[in-house]
Amino acid sequence: MTDRADELRSNLLQVQERIEKACQAAGRSPDEVTLVAITKTFPVSDVRALAALGVRDVGENREQELKVKAPECPDLTWHFVGQLQSKKARSVVRNASVVHSVDRSSLVEALSKAAVAEEKTLRCLIQVSLAAYGSAEAATGAGRGGVEPSDVPDLAAEIAAADGLELGGVMAVAPLGSDPGEAFAGLREVASRLRSEHPGADWISAGMTGDLEAAIKHGATHVRLGRALLGTRPPLG
Ligand SMILES: *Cc1c(COP(=O)(O)O)cnc(C)c1O
């Protein structure tokens, strides 16, 4: 085993232990929580090494990276977790089975058209803004998109009615500089309201390296982990 494979193995074991402890504390079974390895900025050799260790779910936040890496590892389930321009919808649908970041009607239309053209069913999560739980500065921070909780039902109805799309649930990123537990508790309420209308929309994608325990406590079904598994990311070029 190479040094890097060894390092990934040890990181994965630590992450699995964190997930197990968090589940235990929350009275949940670890089987209810899927680890999605966010491999952005890391080479496809790392993806292969994680796959060899049993990781089946992998995510990227940029279309340019997804379209290069996903075809190299077609047996894995690829998730797209980043902001998405409608013109990139076709490429993302071709390379991923789940999009976590659906946040507007125009994107629903573009994804639906692409899914029909690719003859695929794409699972869509609605990205929910938790800015209301953050500080004022955090709310203005870039890259923390998502729809307001009050807009979730309308967008959900559009996804549920769209050809080629399947409504999967919700996704969120906790706001910076505040208690992620409060934010994820809010997300859980949004998720249960959604589920009462759409019983199949039962995924809650929440929790990253810094806050996976809080997310699991509040019902996360999918944790998206980058740094805890792969280490510090090189700065984006
Ligand atoms: C990068 C990223 C993650 C992983 O974050 P880490 O802090 O490295 O675990 C999760 N979700 C999204 C949307 C991301 O862009």
Indicate which residue's Cα is closest to atom 7 of ligand 1: 209
- As a whole number of angstroms, the distance between CA 170 and CA 42 comes to 26
3-state secondary structure of 157: helix
Residues with CB under 6 A from ligand 1: 38, 40, 61, 81-82, 173, 208-210, 224-228
Say how many Å lie between the CA of residue 61 and the centre of ligand 1. 8
User: Which DSSP string corresponds to 102-151?
Assistant: E-SHHHHHHHHHHHHHHT--EEEEEEB--GGGS-HHHHH-TT---B-GGG
Nearest-CA residue for atom 11 of ligand 1? 224
CA gap 221, 33 in Å, rounded: 4
H-type helices in the chain, by residue range?
A: 3-26, 44-52, 63-69, 89-95, 105-118, 136-140, 152-161, 180-197, 212-217, 227-230
pLDDT attached to residue 142: 43
How confident is the model over 1-16, as pLDDT tens digits? Answer: 789 999 999 999 999 9
Give residue 178's pLDDT band: very low, low, confident or very high (50, 70, 90): confident
Domain 3-230 CATH class label: alpha beta
* Mutational pocket test of ligand 1: of 34, 35, 40, 81, the residue with most ligand atoms within 8 Å of the beta carbon: 81
Residues in CB range of 79: below 8 A, 6 or more apart = 36, 57, 58, 59, 60, 96, 97, 98, 99, 100, 224
Q: What pLDDT sits at residue 189?
A: 98
Residue 143's pLDDT is 44
Helix (H, G, I), strand (E, B) or coil at 197: helix
The whole-number pLDDT of residue 229 equals: 98
Distance in Å, CA 215 to ligand 1 centroid: 13
Predicted local confidence at residue 131, as pLDDT: 93
Closest by alpha carbon to 167, among 158, 178, 176, 175?
Answer: 158
Indicate the domain borders of the chain.
3-230
* Phi, psi for residue 90 in degrees, rounded to 5: -60, -45
What pLDDT digit, counting tens, does each position of 118-153 carry? 999 999 999 999 999 987 655 555 446 899 999 999
237 vs 149, more confident: 149
Tell me which residue has its CA closest to atom 13 in ligand 1. Answer: 81
pLDDT grade for 112, boundaries at 50, 70 and 90: very high
First to last CA, the chain: 30
